[in-house]
Amino acid sequence: MKPLITKRNCIQGAIIYALGDSCAALLTGEFQISRLVGMMQLGGTLYAVEIPWYFAWIERHFERQGFVNGLKRALTAQAFLILYGLPVTLLSFNVFRDNLPRYSGV
């Protein structure tokens, strides 16, 4: 049995999640270092476990070769990103945006 958390998944989760959130924060003018660190912690823990587990589940359920199973894998992965990933990202963005102190530049 594979370990639940690996160093590689933690690093990838921290970088990918923090990078995506930082891009959104830069576009809205709300970038903060404390937010970046918080998103890295969230991505390195929660997403480091959850995302690899989900994609392994997809592989187990559609492990046969062929065009149809490949299409099912791709559609299931996209459905996951739309139905789960986007709302969770937007929720965390709004929670952190509303609860972090604003930098006044002073």
> For residue 17, is it within any domain?
yes
Domain total of the chain: 1
Residue with tokens 């970088």: 15
> For residue 35, is it within any domain?
yes
> For residue 29, is it within any domain?
yes
Confidence (pLDDT) at 37 = 92
> For residue 105, is it within any domain?
no
First to last CA, the chain: 52
CA separation for the pair 55, 86 (Å, rounded): 16
> For residue 1, is it within any domain?
no
CA separation for the pair 48, 11 (Å, rounded): 8
> For residue 2, is it within any domain?
no
Confidence (pLDDT) at 59 = 73
Range of the domain at 15: 7-98
Instruction: Encode pLDDT of 54-74 as tens digits.
Output: 777 777 776 777 788 778 878
Instruction: Encode pLDDT of 82-100 as tens digits.
Output: 776 667 667 766 776 666 5
Rounded to 5°, the CA angle 101-40-10 comes to 160
| Residue 43 CB neighbour total at 10 angstroms | 24
Confidence (pLDDT) at 33 = 92
